[in-house]
Amino acid sequence: MGKVILVVPEAPAPATTVAVESRKAGASGLRLGVLDNSKGNADHLLKFIVEGVKAAVPVASVVSLRKDSVSLPAPGAILDQLAAGADFVVSAMAD
| Domain-embedded: residue 10 | no
Q: What's the pLDDT score for residue 24? A: 64
The DSSP annotation for the chain comes to ---------PPPPPSS----------TT-EEEEEEE---TTHHHHHHHHHHHHHHHS-EEEEEEEE-S-SSSPPPHHHHHHHHHH-SEEEEE---
Q: What's the pLDDT score for residue 3? A: 79
| Domain-embedded: residue 4 | no
Task: Please write the tens of the pLDDT for every residue from 20-29.
Answer: 666 566 678 8
pLDDT higher for 20 or 94? 94
Q: What's the pLDDT score for residue 2? A: 73
| Domain-embedded: residue 21 | no
Q: What's the pLDDT score for residue 26? A: 67
pTM: 0.69
Where in the sequence is the domain holding 75, given as residue range(s)? 30-92
Q: How many domains would you assign to the chain?
A: 1
| Domain-embedded: residue 72 | yes
